[in-house]
Amino acid sequence: MAYSVSLAPAADRQFRKLPILMQQRLKSHIDALAANLRPVKVVKLEGENDLYRISVGDYRIVYYIWDGERKLLIVKIAHRREVYR
């Protein structure tokens, strides 16, 4: 069963500011997360429980996973030089 995927308000704003072609590219990866929460190149971030990131070119998608509730919340979408600030 797939997880429900939602974007935090800040992540939604970041996503909408990106060029359309990048939005389309990221959207396909976001949709794939519903079926496969931890793809091959996922990295669990240190210092936070259940916080992960995937790379899509020079952009990063940072998200939380709640397995018990079957939810995934994307908290940040940004260029790699800005995502950890």
Q: What is the 3-state secondary structure (H, E, C) of the chain?
A: CCCEEEECHHHHHHHHHCCHHHHHHHHHHHHHHHHCCCCCCCEECCCCCCEEEEEECCEEEEEEEECCCCEEEEEEEEECCCCCC
pLDDT at 54 over 90: yes
- CATH top-level class of 4-79: alpha beta
pLDDT at 27 over 80: yes
Contact 38, 51 (CB under 8 A): no
pTM summary value: 0.89
Structure tokens at 5: 């995927």
Domain boundaries, the chain: 4-79
